[in-house]
Chains A and B, each alone.
Chain A
């Protein structure tokens, strides 16, 4: 008995004491949600190259699914225990900057050409004259569609929103005639993740409207109009209800939906698609006159780390921003990088839709963010999707949902009119 307790204790000590790699090595902690996606190889290569250029410094790259990643970032910032290299969805930058947990990058950035050479949305990451992140990717959107499905139904690629709706209707089918829809015309996320809000913004920005202008919320009548349009897609049964982001993508890439809206990273999912989709997917420009624009994700630096570490982190950010690694970004990931003009002929040849996303990312666009209230993004998107989900479930009319959203936003967010 006593011996087994001792054995247990020893085993325990072995597990609980972190493996002491007490070599004179600096380890930079770098969690990201992009390792599983098409961006993974680029990040891995960058981290390895950094390690070779900086002996004695090792970057510990770990993967976390997007939702968990941002929840974890929040708690780690709050605890003053942030990762050294912060990679996040750009819409969180303002909130963290507001909490005072990010380090302004200007004293380093101003010595480089970054501010001059970057996509315009880089400027939006400045709050009160300080820059809190480096835009890795600007949103470029496309309509991802299943070409054989469209051909079979005799539907042309939609170029306007009414055409999109009609196409979705025609493409919704019961393939095996068991009385149950098994091919949806469109996969729309109307669920309560922050991407439900993004769906709203595709349609709202698409109608050439911003949700907040001059600290004033858009008219309830206009919000109602956008919600009512989304409701028509749901009512017509062209999309399943309550889809979150991942199930939405899964539905398309498993061959059970004909169209969905996604960003420039969409081609990366083709690898794991069902056989029938792997050769049949195509991407067209979004059939909206205006797009939901803005930065997608960014690199940032935490305030609560030592000055030496900050220098090392900046070295990493600078390396990521270098023309060579930006060129590789386009080539390896197929996404238009932040540094303007980094897409070369090789990348274009490898990624047939890269030009389309490049064009999309540089098209004049509205913002998917509540301008002036970016730091309140979480409450904003949550109140929005709450109303929208209730509407989709048939609990609220579009008008009632819009009013509930407007009231909720004005109650919870100070300064919003």
Chain B
């Protein structure tokens, strides 16, 4: 009796866990394909009325709002954050892993501080900075905000990676007459592909998901990002939930895709610094 009961319970629990994870996402998707009035009825329909499904919300969001512009802004900010984070963190991570000085401990401390700093704490100073640099309402300002978190983290990830690459490998290159820099470029960089992928995935997700920097450093309207744009739709008279959820789904798909592709690398980023 017990022998059959335990596996059954286990399976039921697993099913429940899966439901808990997926139900909110399912509800987002179903709502986004419903008509505005249909979602305000009681009781809610757990299984959607198939004939009532419609793309209206998507059409309305894509043609009636600046959603495409927001998605483009998010993409631009994300790509720029990744590129700068890589450009800065790869050399720095390498240098740190080859130094024996106090700078390594310093980096550890900076990383720790940046990991526990709520963005709101940096917001006012970064706001002053962006204003002074004439970057307010420019996507670059949000990139700076993202980098305040991404650079220490990415540098640490790269350092941890280079720590594992034996020095012999480089030395062989030096003996062949490579300069140290050239050694870094042609020997170490190819070695670091997986770590760079991890940085890319991680910084990418963090930047795409940013809300607070974009909300404060950009002026809304066309210039904002998709996360802020979606939240802005809550402020409208008559919250049109299908549209909100349609935009939410559009904002989630790229990350979901990245997640599926770079699952393993993301885990690495999480364990070394989770957002």
Min distance, Cβ A75 to any Cβ of chain B, angstroms: 6
B92 on the A face (CB < 8 A): no
Min distance, Cβ A195 to any Cβ of chain B, angstroms: 12
A72 to B231, CA, bound (A): 14
A-B contact count (CB 8 A): 80
A75 and B127: CB pair below 8 A? yes
* A 261-301 to B, binary, CB cutoff 8 A, 1 in contact else 0: 00000000100101000000000000000000000000000
**CB closest chain-A residue, reference B231:** A68
B136 and A79: CB pair below 8 A? yes
A36 and B127: CB pair below 8 A? no
* B 39-81 to A, binary, CB cutoff 8 A, 1 in contact else 0: 0101000000000000000000000000000001101100110
B216 on the A face (CB < 8 A): yes
**CB closest chain-A residue, reference B143:** A16
A76 and B238: CB pair below 8 A? no
A76 and B80: CB pair below 8 A? no
A345 on the B face (CB < 8 A): no
B140 contacts across to A, CB distance below 8 A: 16
Q: Are A65 and B236 also in contact (CB < 8 A) when A16-B140, A81-B136 are?
A: yes
B222 contacts across to A, CB distance below 8 A: 62
A8 on the B face (CB < 8 A): yes
B83 and A249: CB pair below 8 A? no
Main secondary structure of the interface of B (DSSP, over half): helix
Q: Are A36 and B232 also in contact (CB < 8 A) when A15-B72, A62-B221, A62-B222 are?
A: no
Which of B75, B80, B219 meets A72, CB within 8 Å?
A: B219
* B 74-109 to A, binary, CB cutoff 8 A, 1 in contact else 0: 011001100100000000000000000000000000
A12 and B79: CB pair below 8 A? yes
Q: Are A246 and B127 also in contact (CB < 8 A) when A75-B216, A76-B219 are?
A: no
B136 and A274: CB pair below 8 A? no
Which of B79, B139, B238 meets A246, CB within 8 Å?
A: B238
Which of B79, B219, B236 meets A11, CB within 8 Å?
A: B79
A15 and B75: CB pair below 8 A? yes
A224 to B16, CA, bound (A): 49
B220 and A31: CB pair below 8 A? yes
* A 239-256 to B, binary, CB cutoff 8 A, 1 in contact else 0: 000000111011001100
A76 contacts across to B, CB distance below 8 A: 219
A67 and B235: CB pair below 8 A? yes
A243 to B37, CA, bound (A): 19
B80 and A12: CB pair below 8 A? yes
A250 and B139: CB pair below 8 A? no
B237 and A246: CB pair below 8 A? yes
A182 on the B face (CB < 8 A): yes
B275 contacts across to A, CB distance below 8 A: none
Which of B73, B219, B235 meets A15, CB within 8 Å?
A: B73
A64 on the B face (CB < 8 A): yes
A37 on the B face (CB < 8 A): yes
A250 to B240, CA, bound (A): 10
Interface residues of A in 46-70 (CB under 8 A from B): 62-69
Min distance, Cβ B86 to any Cβ of chain A, angstroms: 10
A254 and B40: CB pair below 8 A? yes
B29 contacts across to A, CB distance below 8 A: none
A9 and B83: CB pair below 8 A? yes
**CB closest chain-A residue, reference B86:** A5
B42 and A182: CB pair below 8 A? yes
A253 to B220, CA, bound (A): 28
A12 and B239: CB pair below 8 A? no
Which of B73, B131, B238 meets A249, CB within 8 Å?
A: B238
B137 on the A face (CB < 8 A): yes
Q: Are A246 and B236 also in contact (CB < 8 A) when A15-B76, A16-B140 are?
A: yes
Interface residues of A in 74-101 (CB under 8 A from B): 75-76, 79-81
Q: Are A37 and B237 also in contact (CB < 8 A) when A64-B221, A76-B219, A254-B37 are?
A: yes
A395 to B225, CA, bound (A): 39
Min distance, Cβ B228 to any Cβ of chain A, angstroms: 8
B233 on the A face (CB < 8 A): yes
A247 to B234, CA, bound (A): 10
Which of B80, B221, B238 meets A253, CB within 8 Å?
A: B238
A65 and B131: CB pair below 8 A? no
* A 104-133 to B, binary, CB cutoff 8 A, 1 in contact else 0: 000000000000000000000000000000
A75 to B223, CA, bound (A): 15
A36 contacts across to B, CB distance below 8 A: 236-237
Q: A12-B83, A16-B138, A62-B220 are in contact. List 4 more A-B contacts (CB 8 A).
A: A12-B76, A31-B219, A31-B221, A72-B220
Query: Top 6 nearest A-B pairs by Cβ distance?
Result: A65-B235, A15-B76, A62-B221, A67-B235, A79-B131, A65-B236
Give B residues with C-beta under 8 Å from A.
Answer: 37, 40, 42, 72-73, 75-76, 79-80, 83, 127, 131, 136-140, 216, 219-222, 232-239
22 A/B residue pairs, CB under 8 Å, sorted by A: A11-B79, A12-B79, A15-B72, A15-B76, A16-B80, A16-B140, A31-B219, A62-B221, A65-B234, A68-B220, A75-B127, A79-B136, A80-B131, A81-B137, A246-B235, A246-B236, A247-B239, A250-B40, A250-B238, A254-B37, A254-B40, A274-B37
